[in-house]
Amino acid sequence: MVPDPLRLADFDYALPSDRIAQTPAEPRDSARLLVLNRASGTFDDRTVSDLPDLLRPGDCLVVNDTRVLPARLFGRRLSGGRVELLLLRRRDDGAWEALARPARRLGVGTTITLDGGSSACIIEEGVEGLRVVRLEDEAAALAAGHTPLPPYITTPLTDPERYQTIFAREPGSAAAPTAGLHFTPRLLDRLRARGIGVETITLHVGLDTFRPVSEDDPRAHRLHSEWYRVSTETAVALNQVREAGGRIVAVGTTSVRTLESAAEDDGSIRPRAGETRLYILPGYRFRAVDALFTNFHLPRSTLLLLVSAFAGRERVLDAYHHAIAAGYRFYSFGDAMLIV
């Protein structure tokens, strides 16, 4: 039963700071994997490398092939003040929606000299630090940009490719679809050898990854739109999986939102591309996703709400408490869950 009203406080948990992973597992598929069975509520402690044995021949994993942009730009205003821009989404007119700091000093018409020698100009103001900027030389600006790691990761990233999945092909994200960080070419070979498929979708991760839920009733929260695509080839393959009795296993919450945005009421997938604002809360009826491979998410976040919608709030929080007691690592570079 979904609580009414839905309370954000019911999706909270305490995490010791030393459980926040600062560096990724090496190799990627050596991360721990907590398997949660929705029907029984039981847990099983495994590793990601066990995944081929935990799925069935005929199942299909769906991964997000977005690539993280070096979207964190630094520069100075003409008056000399230091500026940071986080590019979120490129508009059709070539301008970028961005988070800007210090926003109060970055009004329309402000020119910023970016590190690397190019410049940017603020052309529109939005709320909550959002600005629209036009880059003088987009290629030069991105060449001098930095990988935008989440604020809870304080250890410098020595290799930017460790914040990219092995599927990353389509540039456009401000953050990685982190569940996909656990996969290796060797693991993919073993999955395919067992008859488990792998298909790709695209969703470019935007502002809401950085934006907490602040409303007491999370139904009052609003998501910004993110661009997604499900190709004809992927839609056909997934519909064939379902028709043959296989399960669609979403790798990460971005794959969940993409698949559910492209799903018909009968669960079939249609080729689609465009913007999605799909916000999945407890009570949502899933149409396309049968199982979920995901990381451990921040308390009071839209991602924890989505996972709770899929598996049930009490089961998910029980699993999180088990993971904390068992020493699992959390968040972007942390361990993973498989919910079946």
Number of domains within the chain: 2
Same domain, 185 and 98: no
Report how far apart the first and last C-alpha atoms of the chain are (Å, whole number).
20
Same domain, 86 and 195: no
Which of 301, 188, 208, 161 shows the shortest CA–CA distance to 251?
A: 188
Beta strands at 336-339 and 32-36: parallel, antiparallel or unpaired: parallel
pTM for this structure?
0.94
Same domain, 251 and 164: yes
Which of 248, 259, 242, 236 shows the shortest CA–CA distance to 306?
A: 259
Give just the sign of the alpha carbon dihedral 122, 123, 125, 130. negative
Q: Each residue's pLDDT tens digit in the chain (340 positions)? A: 444 679 999 999 999 999 999 999 999 999 999 999 999 999 999 999 999 999 999 999 999 999 999 999 999 998 889 999 999 989 989 999 999 999 999 999 999 999 999 999 999 998 878 999 999 999 999 999 999 999 899 998 889 999 999 999 999 999 999 999 999 999 999 999 999 999 999 999 987 766 788 899 999 998 888 999 999 999 999 999 999 999 999 999 999 999 999 999 999 999 999 999 999 999 999 999 999 999 999 999 999 999 999 999 999 999 999 999 999 999 999 999 999 9
Asked if the structure places residue 153 within a domain, the reply is: no
Mark which of 143, 169, 189 sits at the end of a domain: 143
Asked if the structure places residue 49 within a domain, the reply is: yes
Count of residues making up the chain = 340
Find where tokens 């049930």 sit. Answer: 312
Find where tokens 């451990």 sit. Answer: 296
Same domain, 224 and 260: yes
CATH of the domain at 135: 2.40.10.240
**Structural contact between residues 244 and 58, judged by C-beta atoms closer than 8 angstroms:** yes
Asked if the structure places residue 248 within a domain, the reply is: yes
270: amino acid identity, one letter: R
Same domain, 232 and 269: yes
SS3 293: strand
Mark which of 143, 176, 193 sits at the end of a domain: 143
For residue 297, the model assigns a pLDDT of: 96
Which of 33, 36, 68, 69 shows the shortest CA–CA distance to 52?
A: 33
Segments of 78-216 assigned E as strands:
82-90, 96-101, 111-114, 119-125, 130-135, 170-173, 197-203
Find where tokens 């080839």 sit. Answer: 233
- Tell me which residue range forms the domain holding 120: 72-143
Helix, strand, coil abundance in the chain, percent, nearest 5: 30, 30, 45
**Structural contact between residues 16 and 152, judged by C-beta atoms closer than 8 angstroms:** no
Same domain, 47 and 113: no
Kindly report the CA angle at 323 between 320 and 325, in degrees rounded to 5?
Answer: 110
CA-to-CA distance for 63 and 203, rounded, in angstroms? 10
171: amino acid identity, one letter: P
Same domain, 100 and 129: yes
Mark which of 143, 166, 187 sits at the end of a domain: 143
CB atoms under 10 Å from CB of 169, counted, come to 11
* Neighbouring residues of 207: CB distance < 8 A, sequence distance ≥ 6: 88, 89, 97, 99, 130, 174, 224
Beta strands at 272-276 and 291-295: parallel, antiparallel or unpaired: unpaired
Same domain, 283 and 317: yes
